[in-house]
Structure 1
Amino acid sequence: MQARSYLKLSVATALVTIALKTAAWWWTGSVSLAADALESLVNLAGAVFALAMVTLAAQPPDEGHPYGHHKAEYFSSGFEGILIIAAGLGILWGAVDRWRHPQALDAIGLGIALAAVSSALNGGLAWAMLRKAREVRSVALEGDARHLITDVWTSAGVVAGLIGVMTTGWQWLDPLLAGLVAMNILREGVHLMRQSTRGLMDEALDADSLAQVQAVLDSFSGPHAIRFDHVVSRVAGQRRFVDLHMHMPANWTLGRAAALRGDVEVALMRALPGLRASIQLLPMDVEAHALDEEDLV
């Protein structure tokens, strides 16, 4: 199943869980269940936006975007982070109001059952989406999956709190739990915002991937009279890029150098699926000049 198919499933699941949680809140009057329903509404908005961004990121390069549209996924992650933070603040406001004005709850058992069903739906989908996100390195899919996981923990906490209200009669547990839910939601929103910011700042490949790149380069520099330097990498959505210089003996023909460069590029892309390698050919005794910071002033 493709990433977009998972996001379409996420939209459908969000609609079902919104209906279940809204019904649970309506019958019980629980502010924690209202908070849970609000988070599912945010799930729906986030899934729709993530689907749009993944569709855009899959578009091929064009004249205006020669390197593709892969960074569109980071906008999805950032947008979900904003939505989560807004939902968390709204839930916190409602929890404070209910704490000041306690209210008896009705049909708690029914509310617990509906919350448990919605939590099971979200948990199963989140587990499948996280596996797919790691497989295809989709930031948008991972962001939506983590949002669903937050929803699962929210529902679990709500169920535990409602059981506590039902067994003890302590009505203050309901707003207290809603406040804790809000804090957890805010934490997850901040995490997604940071992840989005890091992606838009062109971070380098992770340490393990860079080690794989270096291992491939070492496997070629040993048998051949060549060396590599100026290795620079970046990540953009599902795509990974590496640029480097390959120095060769000055008496090599261009055809021989180009053939070896092609072998190196293929080896790099096999070691790291989804990698795009760009290698500049230079004679052994020639160094490329890079601009110093003072040259940019």
Structure 2
Amino acid sequence: MSTNSTPTSNKITKVAAANIAVALVVICLKYAAYVVSGSVALYSDALESIVNVITAVAAYVAIWMSAKPPDSDHPFGHSKAEFLAAMFEGAMIAVAAVLIMIKAYNGLVEGVTLEHSVLGLSINSFATIINAIWAGVMIKWGTQWRSPALVADGHHLFTDVITSVGVVIALILALMTGWYILDPLIAAVVAVNILMMGYRIATESMSRLMDQAASPEIEARIRGAIEANGIGALQAHDIRTRQAGRALFIEFHLVVPGSMTVDDAHAICDRLENSIEKSIEGSEVVIHVEPEYKAKPEDSGAVPL
């Protein structure tokens, strides 16, 4: 099946594939840390890493699907598949939180015995460093390439880093004080923290599935491109945007003199479309041409030309 082979799409797909490999390495390290120590808190960290693997695979599939070109059934493309992956991540994080809560409760009731804790903490800390570096890479590249799936995975991993640091600190305190009850308690805190992250990812993805507008920074760039390249027209108004994965759909009305020929108006539209689509990668522009009596007051948000 053919896919969109733009350089950005190829880069995103490669990063998504690498994300699966990183997640597998980290889960092996964290599970080893739990096995050697018997810590419920380290178990909670390892369990979240299982979710990382599942969501990494889901993100890869969604990114592959979103790169497919438009077809007769999906004339606007498949970009929203990335938002579905982000929502799936939110749901899986919630499942992990419940499982961790169950393990923490059992630890509180039955007690916890910690063994080889220093070795377990060392292994876990190494895995955390890997996650921290990779989370930063995912968020940076996902934001730069406007990939919701990469950004969601990056924030998820960053949450994993924060909770891992908390786990390490709590276990050190438990070992120093002998208060081993801190181990299941910190696991419960981890569960609440990742549950909140899952809720945030799911709600943000739902908002974008409902055609959320572009950011103010992107809208300012659109207006700037219209002002710089709309020479010959009179005004642009009713500028609307909707984000669909990496695709950004832009439409507006362009007011031209009533005496202007169709050829001249079309030339202005071509110039505006090329300028905006070159400035904002992944954008698709639709312009509706109107005669001058359709102009709107400037306080309505219209762009004078």
Deviation by residue 1:43-67 (Cα, 9 ceiling, x = unmatched): 0000000000000000001111111
1:117 offset after TM fit, Å?
1.0
- The reply to whether residue 66 of structure 1 matches residue 75 of structure 2 is yes
- Match status 1:248 vs 2:265: no
Displacement after TM superposition at 1:287 (Å): 7.8
Deviation at 1:273, TM superposition (A): 2.6
TM-score, normalised relative to structure 2: 0.90
Taking a change above 3 Å as real, the CA distance of residues 242 and 225 of structure 1, as seen in their structure-2 partners, is closer
- Structure 2, unpaired ranges of 5+: 1-9, 297-305
For 1:25-53, what per-residue CA distance to the aligned partner results, in whole angstroms no more than 9, with x for missing partners?
Answer: 11211111111110000000000000000
SS at match of 1:70: coil
TM-superposition CA deviations, 1:53-99 (whole Å, max 9, x none): 00000000111111110000000100000000110111112112211
CA distance in 2, matches of 1:3, 1:225: 38
Corresponding position of 1:18: 27
> Which portions of structure 1, spanning 4 or more consecutive aligned residues, are displaced by more than 6 angstroms?
none
Partner letter of residue 292 of structure 2?
Answer: M
Unaligned runs of 5+ in 1: 289-297
1:295 corresponding residue in structure 2: none
Q: Which residue of 1 aligns with 2:155?
A: 146
Question: For residue 238 of structure 2, what is the aligned residue in structure 1?
Answer: 230
Are residues 1:271 and 2:279 paired?
A: yes
User: Which residue type is aligned with residue 279 of structure 2?
Assistant: A
What does the per-residue CA deviation read over 1:212-247, in whole Å, with 9 as the maximum and x for residues that have no partner?
A: 2222323355x5352212221111101111111112
User: 1:51 is aligned with what amino acid?
Assistant: Y
Measure the CA separation in 2 of the matches of 1:72 and 1:198.
14
1:9-34 deviations in Å (ceiling 9; x for gaps): 11111111211111221121111111
RMSD over aligned Cα atoms: 1.6
TM-score with structure 1 setting the length: 0.92
Q: What is the percentage of aligned positions where both structures have the same residue? A: 34
1:286 deviates by 4.8
The match for 2:58 among 30, 34, 49 is: 49
Instruction: Figure out how many residues of one structure are paired with residues of the other and give that number.
Output: 287
Contact 2:37 2:116 (8 Å CA) reproduced: yes
CA distance in structure 1 between the partners assigned to 2:212 and 2:113 by the alignment? 51
